[in-house]
Structure 1
Amino acid sequence: MLNTSDGNGNSPQDPVSVNVGGEVYTTTLDTLTRCRDSMLGAMFTGQIPLLRDRRGNFFIDRDGKVFRYILNYLRSNSLDLPEGFKELELLKREADFFQIRPLLDEIRRHETGGGTASCRAAMLNVSTESEMRVLHFNLKRGPENYELRSCAVRVYVATVFCTSRVVLELLCARFSYVARDGPVLPQPSTARQNCLRLEWVPCPDELPRDQHQKHGFRELRTESGTDLRDSRAFMEELLRVALCEGFRVDSVFPDPSDILNCSALRFVRY
């Protein structure tokens, strides 16, 4: 059964997971309420009761595929559509349902040829690296019985640079760190414009979870809930996003024939 947020006594808290027609998006309250006078803003400021699905996500019975463009518009105040986008009428209908008037104005400008197509050109670079570390920890066997153990963990780092801030924020929404209080979305660097740095450490079976957290390590997972066990899994998810956003692969290092196991990858979009 679906439950209203009022029935559960729970109000939305960051990060917010929203199930729109079966597509689950993770974002923030600030993004969802960016247009306070919209229906979407009213939903997440307590003016309109919300439903929850069986997993606790807020549920909205609308088209989930095009909602991504609505969400990205709220994040960046820019309408960024893929080349050859054929569902503009559907997007306009959804924007009208949510009563996001600035987006409706932007769609109308796009229809008349005054949209943001000139801003589509972008470059996306990603590099990955990893290193092994050996941890020593005490494993409690009894009240006063401790056993010294050692365990190897691999630390993965991915550095992403994109000239499109919209695409960078989209990537942030596709990954999340695993934390005790719920998923934590990564954020672009404040020091380096258009740069995102992700660092994660998968927890080996022989390492207790509390020791993993004690050393400040974090696991990373995709929007669909898949844990990233290595850099190959990260590259696979990145490819999905980049190709869906109209990018094409420009260069692969070191082996162009083994794209998922590469250490550096560059995309371009014209």
Structure 2
Amino acid sequence: ITKPPFVSTAGPQSLQDPVSVNVGGEVYVTTLDTLTRCRDSMLGAMFTGQMKDRHGNFFIDRDGRVFRYVLNYLRSNSLDLPEGFAELPLLKREADFFQIRPLLEEIQRRESGLAPGGPSGRGAMLNVDTESHVRTLHFNLKRGPDNYELCSCSVHVHTATVFCTARVFVDLLCSRFAYRGQEGTAAPRPRDGSRNYLHLEWAPCPQELPRDQHQKHGFRELHGEAGTELSDLRAFVEELLRVALAEGFRVDSVFPDSSDILNCRSLRFVRY
């Protein structure tokens, strides 16, 4: 990246001394300590020496209006934007130019809706619908050479359909759950065409069913973050609650019995 033109001046200066910074015609008064807060950033590198323009101001040829938010972030380590702020892409470009990575990460979180001040604020809605059905499976069980027995067993197939207005939360769920089947371990993926939807389907392997038969019929188990197998919908809802509550969601409604959340068929969360 080509740095803005500077004119060198001599003389040491304290990090706490006030300095004037001319950013695209907007003049700010701050300290070198603030400007070099992120020392591995482009902005920090610009102020490692005493470089000033002919008027005695440090000069940076960038957008002066949004630089106030960059500067305030360095002062307070908090990104405070006015309500209805419509220049987040521009601020992101400036944060990327100055290579202030913590600020850039915060802006990316806001764009995704996970942090306060995102496109829809922090507010988000999460709906989860669950269902189970029993499938009778017939299979041949080898008892010995040329000795096969026709067997049958019941396999409980569970499904969960998740919708969240914050797409990043769906991505988070994909990283917390894992399928295990014939192809090994794989992370779930959002539904094609929309990152707001996630459909899960899994079937624990019954004790009377050989695992190779379980996998042969295309069944997959579902595991949680700690690798624990989610043997039924109750275990799934418990794992989902743990993740959702940690991300600031609160239970809004439970169907059919609000007093029995772990055995619900439909669950709605909200985050304000």
What TM-score comes out, normalization by structure 2 length?
0.58
**Candidates 146, 149, 152, aligned match of 2:151:** 149
The Cα shift of 1:117 comes to: 8.2
1:143 CA drift (Å) = 2.0
The SS at the match of 1:119 is: coil
- Paired with 1:127 and 1:115, the residues of 2 have a C-alpha distance of 28
Secondary structure of the residue that 2:171 maps to in structure 1? helix
Aligned residue for 1:265?
Answer: 267
Which SS does the other structure have where 2:185 is aligned? coil
Superposition map of 1:1-270 within 5 A: 101-107=100-106, 116=118, 119-180=121-182, 182-270=184-272
Residue matched to 2:93 = none
Which SS does the other structure have where 1:140 is aligned? strand
Structure 1 residue 104, shift from structure 2 partner: 3.6
CA distance in 2, matches of 1:268, 1:106: 24
Q: 1:71 maps to what in 2?
A: none
Q: Distance in 2 between matches of 1:145 and 1:231?
A: 37
Identity of aligned residues (%): 64
Question: For the residues of structure 2 that align with 1:114 and 1:152, how far apart are their CA atoms?
Answer: 47
Distance between the aligned counterparts of 1:263 and 1:114, measured in 2? 30
**AA of the residue aligned to 2:206:** P
- How big is the shift at 1:115? 5.4
- Aligned partners of 2:254 and 2:267 also within 8 Å: yes
Relative distance call for 1:246 and 1:148 in structure 2 (3 A) is same
Contact 1:109 1:115 in 2 (8 A): no
Kept in 1: contact 2:182–2:218 (CA 8 A): no
Q: Aligned AA for 1:128? A: T
Structure 1 gap segments, 5+ residues each: 1-87, 90-99
Give 1:149 shift.
Answer: 0.5
| SS of match in other structure, 2:254 | strand
CA distance in structure 2 between the partners assigned to 1:176 and 1:244 by the alignment: 19
Separation in 1 of the partners of 2:182 and 2:217?
A: 14
Residue 223 of structure 1: how far off its partner (Å): 1.4
Structure 2: distance between partners of 1:268 and 1:249: 7
Q: Give the Cα separation in 2 of the matches to 1:172 and 1:250.
A: 23
Letter in 1 for 2:252: D
Question: Per the alignment, in what secondary structure is the counterpart of residue 227 of structure 1?
Answer: coil
What corresponds to 1:69 in structure 2?
none
1:182 Cα offset (Å): 3.8
Name the count of aligned residue pairs. Answer: 171
> Structure 1 length as normaliser, TM-score?
0.58
Summarize the Cα distance change of 1:144–1:106 in structure 2 as closer, same or farther, 3 Å threshold: closer
Q: Which residue in 2 is equivalent to 1:25? A: none
**Cα distance in 1 between the residues matched to 2:264 and 2:236:** 11
Cα deviations across residues 235-255 of structure 1 (Å, max 9, x unaligned)? 001111111111111110000
Q: Secondary structure at the match of 2:174?
A: helix
For the 8 Å contact 1:252–1:262, the answer to whether it is kept is yes
Distance 2:157 2:108 in 1: 47
- Computing the radius of gyration over CA atoms, which structure comes out larger, 1 or 2? 2
For residues 134 and 198 of structure 2, the distance between their equivalents in structure 1, rounded to whole angstroms, comes to 22
CA RMSD of aligned residues (A): 2.5
Distance of 2:212 and 2:246 partners within structure 1: 38
Q: Encode CA deviations 1:115-162: one digit per residue, 9 max, x unaligned.
A: 538531100000100101111100011221101101111000000000
- Counterpart of 1:105, as a letter, is L
Q: Relative to structure 1, is the Cα distance of residues 107 and 193 closer, same or farther in structure 2, using a 3 angstrom cutoff?
A: closer
Give the drift of 1:114.
9.3
* 1:106/1:115 contact within 8 Å kept: no
Distance 1:269 1:115 in 2: 13
Tell me how far apart the structure 1 counterparts of residues 148 and 227 of structure 2 sit (CA, whole Å): 35
Output the CA distance in 1 between the equivalents of 2:192 and 2:108. 32
Letter of the structure 2 residue corresponding to residue 219 of structure 1: E
